[in-house]
Amino acid sequence: MTPAQLRAYVAVVRLGSVKQAAAQLEVSESAVSLHIAQLRKEFGDQLFSRTAAGLAFTPGGLRLASRAAELLGLQDRTVLEVSAAGRGRRLLRVAASSLFAELAAPGLLELFAKRAADLDVELSVRNPASFETLLQTRAADIAIGPQSSALDPSIAAQPVMNYRLVIVVGPDHPLAGVRASAAQLREQTWLLGPSAATDLGAVQAMLRRLAVPDDRQQIFQSHAAAVTEAKRGKGIAPALSFAVAPDVRQGHLLLTPGPHATLEAVWHSLVLATGTPPAAAELSRFASTPRAIQAMIRGAGVSVGHFKPAVHVTLWS
């Protein structure tokens, strides 16, 4: 595993295309394909496959994307932090679950960053299981997403937003308008975003509750990509109710009725109980306000082309 291979893989994940990755890296498409083939051989994992809606990643492919980003991004992150400090700016590092980062974080962080002219906000997508470690090691200032059932005493948690996870299907799907049983849902092809590859969160809770087999699960590079495949009748997709509301109103998607097809959940903000940076403490308080919740809902539903997966770091300033 070489830096060149990791850079090629990161570019493919972020851009969703070998051609675009080659153009950005200023190398040939065959060179990028060779790097990907070498990684597949070394790890014994297909990493991803191509679909009409984009790239569908294996669990191993998602984990490699995250690790590759950490390795390659360490140098860039250090340069940013040193440069920001030299210019008298503060940096707030936010770790978020993939579901929150894709569908709620953009509106929240854009609004919050406007409150302080000297603040840069860095968002990284992380496995919720690592939130406590990230905070305790000062690798992140605040984490937002699902809360672990056994929280370390050094971590303080605050509810941010209640949300509902629903199951949607395309108008031509066999379950359209059907009050499906647990067994019927279990037998479907499940179209999933990156959150399905983690152990915590509403999507995993729904999959476990219904005992959905692994061979019925397809994981895509974003939750938006999974929902797009559901519109095409390729399967069923768990989705945030507020994120799919416009498509439901327009008839592009249908909600699957019944108690097995919905799940209520809560996002929490996590910070250190003591020694929390002031900006992190302020974001934790601000995130649960009506104005912040409205911003999160308005900012939902980014397209596949604009979603930045775990390998991307976004700065608001």
**65-161+267-316 and 162-264 share one CATH topology?**
yes
Per-residue confidence (pLDDT) for residue 317, from 0 to 100:
44
Write the pLDDT tens digit of every residue in 8-17. Answer: 998 888 888 8
Buried b (16+ CB within 10 A) or exposed e, 91-110: bbbbbbbbbbbbbbbbbbbe
Which one is predicted more confidently, 221 or 182? 182
Local confidence band at 108 (pLDDT 50, 70, 90 cut-offs): very high
Give the residue extent of every domain in the chain.
Answer: 3-50, 65-161+267-316, 162-264
- Say if residue 42's pLDDT is above 50: yes
Can you tell me the distance from the alpha carbon of 182 to that of 142, in angstroms, rounded to the nearest whole number? 37
| Whole-model pTM over 0.85 | no
Per-residue confidence (pLDDT) for residue 299, from 0 to 100:
58
Which one is predicted more confidently, 308 or 233? 233
Per-residue confidence (pLDDT) for residue 312, from 0 to 100:
40
To which CATH superfamily is domain 65-161+267-316 assigned? Periplasmic binding protein-like II (3.40.190.10)
CB 313 within 8 A of CB 77: yes
CB 47 within 8 A of CB 38: no
Can you tell me the distance from the alpha carbon of 40 to that of 46, in angstroms, rounded to the nearest whole number? 6
Can you tell me the distance from the alpha carbon of 242 to that of 182, in angstroms, rounded to the nearest whole number? 24
Write the pLDDT tens digit of every residue in 130-174. Answer: 999 889 988 889 999 999 888 889 999 999 999 999 999 999 999
Task: Say which CATH topology domain 162-264 has.
Answer: D-Maltodextrin-Binding Protein; domain 2 (3.40.190)
- Say if residue 196's pLDDT is above 50: yes
